[in-house]
Amino acid sequence: MSFLESLADIERKYNELSEALSVSKGVADYQGKMKQLSNLGIIVEKYNTYKKVAGDIAGSSGLLNSDDAELRELAKQELKGLEERKAELEKDIKLLLIPRDPNDDKNIIVEIRAGAGGDESALFAAELFRLYSRYGDARGWKAEILSSNSIGIGGFKEIILSMLGKGAYSRLKYESGVHRVQRVPATEASGRIHTSTVTVAVLPEAEDVDIQIKPEELRIDTYCAGGHGGQSVNTTYSAVRLTHLPTNIVVACQDERSQLKNKAKAMKVLMTRLLALRMEEQQKQIGDERRSQIGSGDRSEKIRTYNFPQNRVTDHRINVSIFNLPEIMEGNIDGLLDPIIEVEHNNRLKEFEKNSK
């Protein structure tokens, strides 16, 4: 089926679905049809614009044979802009036709862990937590700390947060990997530049329909929450440790004083990690040829370097550098994310056109 035939077929399905709304069988059926209509409607709207531009091109092309030289020149100039607009619309529509990542609209779990570099790494983990929190705030997302392990001087050995908001995964999934920081630590008297690393994992939040955990697959341990240096935070058994026996994945949560709340948070993280494990297995089955080169989520891959002395942040996947590190650390990372997403879209578009031939 050609590109235009595919669009005509989508338009037909959209019209049929619109008519079928009046005979929906219950609320769930109606909502399902409305969701399909919404998804198809975006493509149909672009297709209608594409048809109008194509019609304008045909009209202007006819004027190229006019006896009026001024009219011919005007038509020639108009055609150039129309052809560029048509090419842009064609690219946009092809991207819409490519199957979306089903997790793109999901909320996310962000796991930030200190790596090499001791206290300096833990301090930078806290700065990345602040960066993502600010980025989420600017987009209207809601962040909540699920679990944390602080070092007492403002840093974190590990901090896990959930971020609720439409499109959170579609934007931040490219942040998974190793983040390297180069700077002079505040505690370094000699002024020597120190290099440390922090790992980030961005996972789509699992829902009950995604992951089912049987009671016999879960071991639940409770204990007293501890603070810095081992002192007791409280004397009740509020901290919860969950162990998923088939995979041996362990999740602990002690931030809340309520055992029930800690268990709920730990369960959310556990289900999300199990979904991530399933996604990794599916990626392995896809094979190297079709696997995306960007946003693979490989946590061992060094994706970015934050060089404070040179005021530079570099994304190594696309070799892009921005010389405005303070702005980046305030959460203004669209300048880094947009080029990555553009490359990813172009890769998917090439694969789509290759498979469509």
Mean pLDDT of 330-349: 91
The answer to which of 15-24, 111-120, 151-160 has the lowest mean pLDDT is 15-24
| pLDDT of the residue at 161 | 93
| pLDDT of the residue at 300 | 63
| pLDDT of the residue at 234 | 53
- Quick check: 22 pLDDT over 90? no
Q: Could you give the angle at the alpha carbon of 271 between the alpha carbons of 265 and 272, nearest 5°?
A: 90
Q: Which two tokens stand for residue 53?
A: 């531009």
Topology (CATH) of 108-346 = Alpha-Beta Plaits (3.30.70)
CA 267 to the chain's CA centroid: 22
pLDDT tens for each residue of 217-274 = 999 988 887 654 444 445 567 889 999 999 999 999 888 888 888 898 998 899 999 9
Identify the residue with better confidence: 25 or 177: 177
- Helix or strand or coil: residue 285? helix
Whether the CB-CB separation of 294 and 171 falls below 8 Å is answered with no
The answer to which of 92-101, 285-294, 322-331, 348-357 has the lowest mean pLDDT is 285-294
CB neighbours (10 Å) of residue 235?
Answer: 8
Residue type present at position 304 = R
Model pTM? 0.76
Q: Domains of the chain: which residue ranges?
A: 3-97, 108-346
Q: Which two tokens stand for residue 174?
A: 């490219």
Which residue matches tokens 């008297």? Answer: 189
pLDDT tens for each residue of 149-206 = 888 788 999 999 999 998 899 999 999 999 999 998 876 766 788 899 999 999 998 8
Helical packing angle, 69-97 and 3-20, nearest 10°: 70
Phi, psi of 202 (to 5 degrees): -110, 115
Phi, psi of 314 (to 5 degrees): -120, 130
- Helix or strand or coil: residue 90? helix
Nearest to 292 by CA among 282, 302, 306, 277: 282
| pLDDT of the residue at 182 | 94
Contacts of 236 (CB under 8 A, 6+ apart): 224, 257, 259
Q: CA-to-CA distance for 74 and 63, rounded, in angstroms?
A: 9
Q: What's the whole-number average pLDDT of the chain?
A: 85
Residue type present at position 199 = T
- Helix or strand or coil: residue 165? coil
